[in-house]
């Protein structure tokens, strides 16, 4: 199995387990939107770690270069997150102008 998939499954399991534990402890509902977002973020964390590790370990970088799909998904995710952050900042600033 692909190390990205293994890492994403482990990362998502840890993050989701802690999220469910916190929700149960606080007696708050478990939101499906939050679960989906956390799964995508777990994948993004693993990809980011592999990309960072590829800078320091040439063997890892040669493996990453053959995975264009993961690089594309990571790039799209970064663009979406950055655009969302800019939109939130601008919308908060424009609300203060009123």
Encode pLDDT of 24-81 as tens digits.
888 888 888 888 878 888 887 887 787 778 778 877 777 677 666 667 777 777 778 7
Encode pLDDT of 13-25 as tens digits.
998 898 888 888 8
Domain locations along the chain: 3-96
7-16, 65-74, 85-94 — which one is most confidently predicted on average? 7-16
Transcribe 37-91 into DSSP letters.
HHHHHHHHHHHHHHHHHHHH-HHHHHHHTT-HHHHHHHHHHHHHHHHHHHHHHHH
pTM: 0.61
| Whole-number Cα distances in Å, 87 to 1, 73, 92 | 38, 21, 8
**Residue pair 89/63 in contact by the 8 Å Cβ criterion:** no
């Amino acid at each position: 199995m692909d190390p990205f998939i293994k890492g994403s499954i482990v990362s998502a399991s840890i993050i989701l387990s802690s999220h469910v534990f916190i929700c149960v402890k606080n007696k708050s509902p478990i939101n499906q939107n939050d679960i989906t977002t956390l799964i995508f973020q777990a994948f993004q964390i693993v990809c980011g770690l592999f990309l960072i590790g590829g800078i320091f370990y040439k063997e890892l970088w040669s493996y990453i270069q053959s995975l264009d799909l993961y690089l594309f998904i990571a790039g799209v995710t970064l663009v979406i997150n950055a655009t969302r952050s800019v939109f939130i900042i601008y919308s908060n600033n424009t609300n203060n102008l009123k």
